[in-house]
Structure 1
């Protein structure tokens, strides 16, 4: 829900989607986004189905996925799985690709900070999501 809120705030209609999921899960995510007016114009998934393995996805694999999706020039890219180690790499990806990247774990933290009235700018290193004051 936090990611959806952020996409709405930023007016994102063309999304890139990166996940570790299997095709049927990825396709359901894409369908759900389409139902709220967000088109996934590019996606990359790894066909992994067990939760523990999500956490073992390497940074180099995520680099490759993000690079592949960025080629389509979406308005934003979502790294979509709370068990991926992606949040700490978002700033670098945004510099490399010039595209806002929203990690699902980071968007939850962003939302919590807003809910407790703490300026998200107090968190550094997780991308431009945290550079705009509330």
Structure 2
């Protein structure tokens, strides 16, 4: 199979997505991942926090990835959750226009997965504050997906998301299971959810879609790569 080079746009304070991505792809020697950062330190709905997701620094980071001749560029972040999916659709179009490289995002890939699996009522685990979480609920509703149950931690500092333990993530997911959602989204690329997804899917019988994993799924799907070669990280790769 032709080698695949994936470019990832990464929040500057994220310490989870790079090692988790590397772990997920360790058995695929024909796939390499290359990262480019731009400044993101806090998640909120105030002007300062929202301005971090201006297209200009993201496009500058994407242009650096294009220098590495990557086959696809992925925004490995969840900002479209509170900004609306049109923000990611516009970003992908602008990345391709500026670089000539196909583009995807973690959030757009999540919706592709949910549509393919006919999942319309979901649960969500996130580290975000209540106002951000509510904005996500509304954004998903606008796209035809109802978040029927959620757990969030009320954290604003982006680096601190990475300090949330697997035990805490597991407990949050367990609290959503009785609501019987079609699936559960671990919605933040700085939460270390992907390594525990397969075990929890087996325990609860519910698909769990981690945001780092959906970024990889989106990258592969965008260029027609066989994503079923990824194993051990959730039903989305079946």
TM-score, normalising length: structure 1: 0.94
Shift of 1:115: 2.0
Which segments of 5 or more consecutive residues in structure 2 lack a partner in the other structure? Answer: 1-107
**Structure-2 separation of matches of 1:34 and 1:129:** 21
- Corresponding residue number in structure 2 for 1:104: 211
- 1:52 correspondence with 2:159: yes
Which segments of 5 or more consecutive residues in structure 1 lack a partner in the other structure? Answer: none
- Corresponding residue number in structure 1 for 2:179: 72
Size of the aligned set, in residue pairs, is 131
Aligned 1:7-26 pairs, distance under 5 A = 7-26=114-133
**Structure-2 separation of matches of 1:36 and 1:57:** 29
- Show CA shifts across 1:58-89 (max 9, x none): 00000000000111000010000011101111
Q: Which structure would you say has the larger Rg?
A: 2
SS in 2 for 1:71: helix
**Structure-1 separation of matches of 2:166 and 2:157:** 18
Which range is displaced more, 53-62 or 113-122? 113-122
- Corresponding residue number in structure 2 for 1:117: 224
Which range is displaced more, 108-117 or 17-26? 108-117
- 1:95 correspondence with 2:202: yes
TM-score, normalising length: structure 2: 0.54
Shift of 1:117: 2.3
Shift of 1:105: 1.0
**Structure-2 separation of matches of 1:124 and 1:66:** 21
SS in 2 for 1:24: helix
- Show CA shifts across 1:23-54 (max 9, x none): 00110001111111111111000001100000
**Structure-2 separation of matches of 1:113 and 1:38:** 23
- Corresponding residue number in structure 2 for 1:40: 147
SS in 1 for 2:155: coil
Structure 1 stretches of at least 4 aligned residues deviating more than 6 Å after TM superposition:
none
Shift of 1:116: 2.6
